[in-house]
Amino acid sequence: MNKRWVVAITVLVVFYSVAFSEAQETIRYNGSSTILKAIMNKAATEFEAKEGIKFDLKGKHTAFGINKLLAGECDIAGGGRPLKEDEKKKGLVETKLFLDTGAFIVHQSNPITKIELTQITEILKGSLSQWGEIGGPEGKKIIIISPPVKAIHYKNMRKIIGFDTLPKNSITVDVPPHVYQKVKSFPVSIGWLSHANVANKKDVKILDIVFDGEPVTINQENVSSGKCLYQQPMYFYTKGTPKGNVKKFIEFMQSKSGDAIITEAGFFLIQ
């Protein structure tokens, strides 16, 4: 075969292999299980329908995802804190996407609809242990369901309340969304987690938190104004500035389509 034809065919094979590879690129996500369950499943489905890009989705917690990103085992990590300086020095870049807040939940059968911050403090520090003392089920002991100690919502609450360790009868789940699963199974429990993990659930009750006599409901207005227990920015992290299909996906999440996914999931827009 003519040498020129061999070269031409080789170039064509390489060209179409690269083109096919790009068309079939898979975006790998790891990190926050809250973002995974509340956002990524729906966002990935919509983006794949729009762009033909597939996703490999895994989740645990923020630090886990960042470690996977540094190891080159994912393309996007998700989490609930800004990057540390040493992570930035390793080439990681953060993109702030939306806001989250912590929600305290009880079983749907529990008669209480609100709880004072002082009562939350007493419960988490162990000095308040009976539901009857705050209008809950009489004669029942309060069971605390906690997110894992590495989770951002655990760290935020520990900082706000100032507890060292939770009472002995507390249950700590392996990933934050499982707080919901436990609370709906234990009628005498109380737990906290991302609002997005329970925003559309009917078998648990999100409690209003009372500050200085005023009950505060979790909604966009109160999150934006800082009235809720805390506001938690949520991020995507990438190794270097986002580019290619990863950049396209982040831009999709920053569009009106992404805003709709974010608010439907129970997160809040940055205003």
**Residue 65: closest CA among 189, 180, 177, 151:** 151
Q: Do domains 3-99+234-265 and 102-224 have the same CATH topology?
A: yes
Q: In what order do the strands lie in the sheet with 214-216?
A: 114-116, 208-211, 214-216
Q: Phi, psi at residue 105, to the nearest 5°?
A: -130, 150
Return the domain boundaries, the chain.
Answer: 3-99+234-265, 102-224
Rg of the chain (C-alpha set): 22
Q: Which residues of the chain have pLDDT under 50?
A: 5-23
**What pLDDT was estimated at residue 271?**
86
Q: Which helix (H) or strand (E) holds 93?
A: strand 92-100
Taking only the tens place, the pLDDT of each residue in 21-42 is 444 589 999 999 989 999 999 9
| Joined tokens for residue 93 | 């870049």
pTM here is 0.82
Homologous superfamily in CATH for domain 3-99+234-265: Periplasmic binding protein-like II (3.40.190.10)
Going by CATH, does the domain composed of 102-224 fall within 3.90.550.10? no
**Residue 69: closest CA among 87, 55, 54:** 87
